[in-house]
């Protein structure tokens, strides 16, 4: 019986890359029953809500979703629809692989990194307020970062277990405990203690966030699996995407105990929506991650291998990768390759 999956096409270029991804997965033989739902601006247009109840009900039922980029409506009560979905389903682990498929301007060799980001705590909890001084009620602004021991333990454990399961060699914990001695200090303390459980199986090291940014640009191959807090992970995940060709090749997974949402991590790109120029690669690669999660690894491998071969051969690439193909032409070629 096909596995039910909620499909959220999204906004901007989302519907076109979602359609491309569905076609590719069908050509690869993925055993999926799609339940198409709306969110973001499309959710407002169809249901008057950026996260409609039918969409939430679908994800509760399927426990799996593939999501295109979403636009957060202004003045609708959400700082981010994406963050709201993560909170709703407690999707605490954001997994962002970055694998080199096209030549790098700095000539990195075979770069293959995975960033594991805590997805529900830190500064992104949105606990903010203005602080009055004298007659000015908004003289200062205050944001609170909350890092819990339980939250730190489950994300760092996830990173170590991911590394073991995928035959990785090392976990690097990124922090700012030299300055943020309580919040980052707690995260680092948990990581150091947990690393002892994996001695002999995995190497462990730690880096301060600013040094890590420099190290990733200068010599990223020294790293393997990276685990860090919410905001640091948000920044570093875009940095490592830039090392391997940009956000057009950047898939992401949001994993929780009871649900998982896989996504293209780039934005809606409204300036090119409807122009048949978008690169569907990020969502296709996210769908391959989803297939692994679903227990269809052979189909995931077929999708990745076909996509990689097409990118590396270079005859049919989208414009952001130096080619001239549109979304449909790129997808047609990939579907033909999968069907042999």
Residues with a catalytic annotation lie at: 124, 176, 210, 234
Q: What angle do CA 94, 95, 98 make, to 5 degrees?
A: 140
Residues near 333 by beta carbon (within 8 Å), at least 6 away in sequence: 310, 316, 325
- One DSSP character per residue, 308-325 reads HHHHHH-SS-BGGGT--B
User: Is the distance from CB of 96 to CB of 228 less than 8 angstroms?
Assistant: no
The backbone torsions φ and ψ at residue 134, rounded to the nearest 5 degrees and listed phi first, read 65, -125
79: left (phi over 0), alpha (psi -120 to 50) or beta: alpha
Residue 306 Cα distances to 28, 42, 253, angstroms: 9, 31, 21
User: Is the distance from CB of 226 to CB of 29 less than 8 angstroms?
Assistant: no
150 CB-side CA count, 13 A: 1
The residues that bridge with 170 in the sheet, in sequence order, are 203
């Amino acid at each position: 019986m096909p596995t039910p999956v909620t499909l959220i096409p999204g906004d901007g270029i989302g519907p076109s890359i979602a359609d491309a991804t569905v076609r590719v997965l069908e050509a690869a033989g993925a055993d999926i029953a799609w339940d198409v739902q709306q969110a973001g601006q499309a959710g407002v247009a169809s249901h008057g809500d950026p996260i409609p109840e039918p969409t939430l009900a679908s994800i509760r039922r399927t426990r799996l979703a593939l999501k295109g980029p979403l636009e957060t409506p202004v003045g609708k009560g959400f700082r981010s629809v994406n963050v709201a979905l993560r909170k709703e389903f407690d999707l605490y682990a954001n997994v962002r692989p970055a694998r080199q498929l096209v030549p790098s301007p700095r000539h990195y060799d075979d770069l293959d990194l995975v960033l594991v980001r805590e997805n529900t705590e830190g500064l992104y909890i949105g606990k903010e307020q203005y602080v009055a001084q004298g007659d000015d009620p908004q003289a200062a602004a205050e944001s609170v970062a909350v890092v819990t021991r339980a939250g730190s333990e489950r994300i760092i454990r996830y990173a170590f277990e991911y590394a073991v399961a995928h035959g990785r060699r090392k976990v690097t914990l990124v922090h700012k405990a030299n300055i943020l001695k309580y919040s980052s200090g707690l995260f680092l303390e948990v990581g150091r203690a947990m690393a002892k459980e994996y001695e002999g199986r995995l190497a462990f090291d730690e880096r301060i966030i600013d040094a890590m940014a420099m190290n990733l640009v200068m010599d990223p191959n020294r790293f393997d699996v990276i685990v860090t807090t919410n905001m640091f992970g948000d920044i570093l995940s875009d940095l490592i995407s830039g090392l391997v060709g940009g956000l057009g090749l950047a898939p992401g997974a949001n994993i929780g105990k009871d649900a998982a949402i896989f996504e293209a991590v780039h934005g809606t790109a409204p300036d090119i929506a409807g122009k048949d120029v978008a690169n569907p690669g990020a969502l296709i690669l996210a769908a391959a991650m989803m297939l692994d999660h679903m227990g269809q690894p052979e189909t995931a491998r077929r999708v990745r291998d076909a996509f990689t071969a097409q990118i590396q051969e270079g005859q049919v690439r989208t414009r952001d990768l130096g080619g001239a193909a549109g979304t449909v032409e790129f997808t047609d070629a990939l579907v033909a390759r999968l069907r042999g």
